[in-house]
Chain A
Amino acid sequence: MNRYPTWKYLIVAIALLAGLLYTLPNFFGSTPAVQVTAKTSAGIKLDEPARAKVESALATAKVPSTGVTLDSHGIRARFADEDTQLKAKTVIESALVPDKNLDDAPYSIALSLLSNSPEWLTKVNALPMYLGLDLRGGVHFLYQVDMKQALTKRLDSLSGDLRSQMRQKNIRHAGIDRTPAGILMKFRDDATRILAKNLINDNFTELQTVEGTDGSDLTLVANLKPESIRKVQENAIQQNISTFNKRINATGVAEPIIQQQGADRIVVELPGVQDPSKIKELLGRTASLELRMVCESPEEISAAVGGAVPFGCEKYPSKTSGSGFELVRKRVELTGDRLTDAQPGFDGQTQEPAVHLTLDAAGAATFKELTRENVNKRMAILLLEKNKGEVVTAPVIRSEIAGGRVQISGAMTSAEANNVAILLRSGALAAPMEIVEERTIGPSQGKANIEKGFHSTWVGFSLIAVFMIIYYLLFGVISVMALGANLLFLVALLSLLQATLTLPGIAAIALTLGMAIDANVLINERVREELRGGATPQAAITAGYERAFGTILDSNVTTLIAGLALLIFGSGPIRGFAVVHCLGILTSIFSSVVVSRGLVNLIYGSRRKLAKLSIGQVWKPGAGNGAEVAAKPAAR
């Protein structure tokens, strides 16, 4: 009766072994390290001389390291603590990149935490839990993407395309304007309007049209379809995330997290980083290129002479212009989106530093048409960075330029050309962003959080263990072992899932343990009650476990409902709490029922003539002190 079939014992044993295996890596801890890897684009390999160079640089600077190793990932230098690690990073940087130009160095040098667990554990995918920012220090940003701007940008570019296609197809409109939410086209007659409408339906599937009138003119308003609005927004987020990724990777921060959160937010978490302003500047940087025509019609020039900015024009500073600024049209002919590459170089004729740009097919076509139609006019190339624009150069178009290769040159040093090229290449942000949440946690704070969290969990666990063992004797010991198994399973599961452990997560582990003991208390009390009712020890065990199970299930389901609600609606710290809480409820059912029953069966199951269970004193009313003769067992 109180015996498990062998397979059941086997399952428990395997579960415990697996639990142990996957919990193990967490005990080895991790070491602060500096990791040097070769950038893939650089095409070099890190070798033994490079390792020796790092080692000797550290020795010269008297920064004690606990080992500099070379493996397939690169060079890793380990240190005793975070302070040494930070110092070492500076030393290694100046040793490997003497010119301090980290952006262009062939190496990336990053702070990282290396697990101390042995190789064979890593091979079976047993990795330690990933520690959240609140436990290891670092910066956290929550960016909100300005979706309105993303839509405006898309409409701007569409209206430019529409204008040029109507010109190509010879559809004579009486004006195309941008309204806040769409594109307004005016026509003299209905036939033209139908032509325009067909053009939009055929070639601009993102747009939908509404007809109307404006005075004597017939109008057609085009705006973005709901599904294309969604698509633009998705693309904006995706593009910004990939731009972030590129920029963060360039800095060499190890294990960055860059994720979408909700419809329009991006979370950036950088462990180990302590200087948020530098990262913020880097991430927020936007550089984009625009091609516009220079305002140079006679009336515009005369207006400008009077000091006014003519209608439809904007004033931008320019180093190449004699007056220090340039008047350019508001209308954008071509944007940096069409750019596929940007490389620094030199002008073939003048040997001036220059940036060579390559446009994609659509961009090349637009550029060809633009140059054909504007021969002998001036075209301005604007570089917009941090919302400040500058006209880099404003050359006169001599002839039509086909092939999509454009060169920017004029009053640049070669370092500036280099910078411009990097900025353009690393991509622009699709839409401006705003930081809505920012958190910096110092490394010492993280360490204190871990210590306090674990300390309080252990103290609580020990208190429960002591009480249970005193109160329930051997059954108490079994309960505590089941609780220990629960902790093992939970940590193993979290490590296996590579969940991020945060302080609320540790709190959830503690709380789950405190709650999980409930199941064993239920069982033990029920067994005692059966004994009190006169059942034999073996029957009491069977009945105790069977009857308690329904209640354990009920109470865990209600707790799980609360946990799931937290998981669905929670974000950030709440989510960390909820994940652990839900997993803990599941593991606790297994350990408190299956594992503890297995132990009980192992101890008592084979004894046929069992006279007594070691479950503490079972008090029977009426027995012992004999004061109340009439007292019936239990109740009434």
Chain B
Amino acid sequence: MEFFRIRRDIPFMKHALVFNVISIITFALAVFFLAHRGLNYSIEFTGGVVIEAEYPQPVNLEGVRDALIKSGIGEPQVQNFGSARTVAIRLADKDANIPSFVSPDPNIKKNTFDRDKFAAIAIAPGGADGKILRVEVVGPQVGKELASDGGLALLLVCIGIMGYLALRFEWKFSVAAIIANMHDVVIILGFFAFFQWEFSLSVLAAVLAVLGYSVNESVVVFDRVRETFKKRRALAVPEVINHAITSTISRTIITHGCTQLMVTSMLFLGGPTLHYFALALTIGILFGIYSSVLVASPIVMWLGISRADLIKPEKKKDVNDGAVV
């Protein structure tokens, strides 16, 4: 079986402008939604309380919410997760600190959230047999650190990847690859802002993993660009890039298809905890293919890549630099 039977190089670079315009529009939309709606941070970042409860029968979410509001708690967010019998109740940090729900903890001279009282009220509307599956209480200061650590990690990944690509190829490639892949990150975040999906620590991990992963794509294409420059001296720069993309496209699609098979399996079978993780990966993989091939390559072209940039004057052995698909 062979999916890709391409006779001629596809003239991708003819449409370079179109690809980039599409990209810029998506990017702008993502930035707009990020600024306008913001991310729906999980309580790991904001501080607050999450309780996951399981009821004997499917429970009316409004009933749970009303019972909580009646008891004086602020604005609880009540949602099903996994099944109709399991409910997640989220409470922002400010709501978790209302006076009727905190009891003074004599050990620390400070008030702490009364989780038992909260749990009892949350369980009541579904009958007495409800069970608390998970409780999480996070103070706001932890979240601030997580956010800044996340930013630092992102920065380190960018610097590391740019440095490696500059060393292995040329600075123009590293600039193009990082622009393409950062724009993926912004687009993933844009999706999370638009749909107000919960942005948790595992989503952050997925975003960073995607960054490392989709750079691969650019690496594979760039490797082939270098090889083509060497082997076929007659070709002009856009033709070289077209050839490189065309001859790697089969591998690109198959690889990403395989990764996506695994991710899809996590998306549907991995349960609520892995759902958004897999969702972030899915968006990352789809946009990763697009951007690292069709955005990074035109940028390299516009940055003025030339044969001289890649082929060093001294002659090297062919085996060493012929590393390509």
Contacts and interface: CB of A to CB of B under 8 A. Distances in A.
Q: Give the bracket for the number of chain A residues in contact with chain B.
A: 35 or more
Contacts of B141: 144, 436
A387 B106 contact: yes
B2 interface: yes
A503 to B, nearest CB: 6
A518 B248 CA distance: 12
Interface string B169-207: 000000000000000000000000000000001101100
Contacts of A621: 5, 7
A562 B208 contact: yes
Contacts of A528: 2
A598 interface: no
B223 A551 contact: yes
Interface string A550-592: 1101110111111111101111111001100100000000000
Interface in B144-173: 146, 149-150, 152-154, 156-157, 160-161, 164-165, 168
Contact of B205 (A433, A504, A526, A634): A504
A518 B255 contact: yes
A397 to B, nearest CB: 32
Contact of B219 (A134, A507, A525, A551): A551
Given A448-B271, A507-B277, A467 B261 contact: yes
Interface string A525-543: 1101100000000000000
A581 B82 CA distance: 26
B92 to A, nearest CB: 16
A437 B137 CA distance: 5
A547 B323 contact: yes
A468 to B, nearest CB: 7
B262 A441 contact: no
B323 A464 contact: no
A558 B157 CA distance: 9
A570 B149 contact: yes
B153 A517 contact: no
B134 A442 contact: yes
A387 B255 CA distance: 62
A464 B134 contact: no
Contacts of A557: 164
A225 interface: no
Interface stretch (B22-30, B210-218, B309-317): B210-218
Given A435-B112, A561-B161, A636 B324 contact: no
Given A284-B107, A558-B215, A517 B323 contact: no
Contacts, number: 284
A467 B254 CA distance: 10
A559 B209 CA distance: 7
B2 A456 contact: no
Q: Is the interface of A mostly helix, strand, loop or mixed?
A: helix
A441 B273 CA distance: 13
Interface in A410-467: 432-442, 444-445, 448-449, 452-453, 455-457, 459-461, 463-464, 467
Given A387-B109, A460-B265, A566 B208 contact: yes
A521 interface: yes
Contacts of B208: 562, 565-566
Contacts of A284: 105, 107-108
A618 B263 CA distance: 29
Given A455-B269, A471-B254, A555-B220, A619 B146 contact: no
Contact of A551 (B146, B205, B320, B325): B325
B108 A578 contact: no
B270 A453 contact: yes
A554 B325 CA distance: 12
A635 B246 contact: yes
B250 interface: yes
Contacts of A6: none
Interface string B295-325: 0000000000000000000000001111111
A503 B274 contact: yes
Interface string A619-636: 101100000100100111
A569 B168 contact: no
B205 A438 contact: no
A564 B320 CA distance: 27
Interface in A389-422: none
A470 interface: yes
A452 B2 contact: no
A513 B323 CA distance: 23
Interface of B: 1-2, 5, 7-9, 52, 54, 105-110, 112, 115-116, 131-139, 141-142, 146, 149-150, 152-154, 156-157, 160-161, 164-165, 168, 201-202, 204-205, 208-209, 211-213, 215-216, 219-220, 223, 232, 235, 239, 243, 246-247, 250-251, 254-255, 257-266, 268-271, 273-274, 277-278, 281, 319-325
24 contacts: A134-B273, A142-B142, A388-B106, A432-B108, A432-B109, A434-B110, A435-B108, A435-B112, A437-B136, A445-B52, A449-B273, A457-B266, A467-B258, A468-B258, A504-B202, A515-B213, A521-B255, A546-B319, A551-B219, A559-B209, A562-B157, A565-B154, A574-B202, A634-B247
